[in-house]
Structure 1
Amino acid sequence: MPERPIRLFGDPVLKTVSAPVEQVDDRVRGLVADLLDSVRVPGRAGVAASQIGVNLRVFSYNIDGDVGYVINPVIVELAGEVETIDEGCLSVPGLWQKTPRHSFARVRGIDLDGNEIEVSGSGLMAQALQHECDHLDGLLYLDRLDKDERRIAMRRVRESDWF
């Protein structure tokens, strides 16, 4: 399956809560394959289904060579201090903003065989798990910014050549 184009800020699918996967079928298997191909592009840490225009609760991740996916992910644990860290997004290209994130996250979901899986980690993995689950809830990292940081980010979006 090919890498899929990434939807950009302003596309309504990015602000829509994604529907749960009710049944793993060929469509879902194809979606997972597309997400895995799309996240393997160098420089990508995660891709949510909504970012490729599909309104289903699935995301892929690629953290330090650990590539995988989660269907119907739910954050079951956030721990550690909330840190303000630089964060960007494929759907908001060229911007990096100070974003509050927990230092540890654990996500539970299923795989293509319907088996329960958990993915967890700290650092970049924790950030990616929170970021991708936000996408599936219709949130962008810009929605997590404090008022001043968000004002700066929105000005930068309006000034960008892709907006």
Structure 2
Amino acid sequence: MSKLQPATVDHRVRVQGQPVDDYPEFAPESKRGRVLRVTVVGEDILHRPCKEAVEFGTPELSQLIDDMFLTMYVAEGAGLAANQVDVDLRLFVYDCGDDDGVRHVGHILNPVIDDPAGRRRLLEAGEGCLSVPGPRHDLGREERTVVRGFDKDGNPLVIEGTGYFARCLQHETDHLNGMLYIDRLSKRQRRSVLQEMAEVKEGVFAERRTRAEAMGAEHLSVGG
């Protein structure tokens, strides 16, 4: 998911759902990461459900999370799913602010969204995606979301989000189910977004390369 606004850096930060007193501008994981290629709409891995994680606590999983954090920052994202870096795994990372100015940072494996009880309230707002580089479009999302899953060591996680962070959690879980935000739009809206993407994507890829170089990041590719 593309970032709406830069996350605030203050004491109001929750990491893996838990409050912390101090936190750096970028998650520490990103310092150990490499920039991976971000997949683009139309590639098969983005359009089918991802496989459940069955192994936890491995060096390979930790490295993937590190790589995903750095890739997300280089692409100026608020969230990134594993299939967006061409990995078939139910995992996403995030660094996203909510509507109250609280910054949320973390990762989650095998996420499942709780079915909301009673009447659901939808909020309409602009949404973008790193795998649909460039355009944004308004989309209705539930204003509150609870996601259950596991951390990289297999410990249970419950992450609650409201406002823009709730949107992020829904967007990234959609990815792992093989759905992009544009799949929730009308056919006409979807065509319009894809047309705009075709016109601007090379410029977006160039900006990502520039940011990777500025951050001194080791990278395989930052284009589509």
TM-score between both structures, scaled by the size of structure 2: 0.66
In the other structure, the counterpart of 1:118 is 158
Decide which structure has greater strand share. Answer: 1
The answer on 1:73 being equivalent to 2:145 is no
Structure 1 CA distance for aligned equivalents of residues 183 and 140 of structure 2: 11
RMSD: 2.0
Does the CA-based 8 Å contact 1:78-1:102 persist in structure 2? Answer: no
Question: Which residues of structure 1 form unaligned runs of 5+?
Answer: none
Alpha-carbon shift at residue 78 of structure 1 (Å): 4.2
The more displaced of 1-10 and 110-119 is 1-10
Between Structure 1 and Structure 2, how many residues are aligned?
163
Distance 1:124 1:146, change over 3 A: same
Higher mean alpha-carbon deviation, 116-125 vs 74-83, is at: 74-83
Asked whether the 8 Å contact 2:133–2:201 carries over to 1, the reply is no
1:86 match: secondary structure: strand
Partner of residue 153 from structure 1, selected from 170, 193, 197: 193
1:157 to partner: Cα distance: 3.7
- Alignment counterpart, residue 53 of structure 1, candidates 60, 76, 86: 86
| 1:110–1:161 Cα change, 3 Å | closer
Offset, 1:62:
0.4
Q: Give, in whole Å, the separation in 2 of the partners of 1:161 and 1:124.
A: 24
In 2, Cα distance between equivalents of 1:78 and 1:149: 28
Q: What is the alpha-carbon distance in structure 1 between the residues aligned to residue 46 and residue 113 of structure 2?
A: 19
Amino acid at match of 1:36: F
User: Which structure is higher in RCO with an 8 Å CA cutoff and minimum separation 6?
Assistant: 2
Tell me if the contact between 1:87 and 1:96 (Cα under 8 Å) persists in the aligned partners.
yes
Of 132, 135, 149, the match for 1:92: 132
Q: What SS does the aligned partner of 1:40 have?
A: helix
- What is the CA distance between 1:159 and its match in structure 2? 4.3
The structure number with the bigger radius of gyration is 2
| Superposition deviation, residue 29 in structure 1 | 2.0
- % identity of equivalent residues: 36
Shift of 1:92: 0.5
**Structure 1 pair 161–26 and aligned structure 2 pair: CA distance change class (3 A):** closer
Is residue 53 of structure 2 the alignment partner of residue 15 of structure 1? no
Q: Which runs of 5+ in 2 are unaligned?
A: 1-32, 98-102, 203-223
In the alignment, what sits opposite 1:30? 63
One-letter code aligned to 2:161: G
> How far apart are 1:158 and its partner, in Å?
4.6
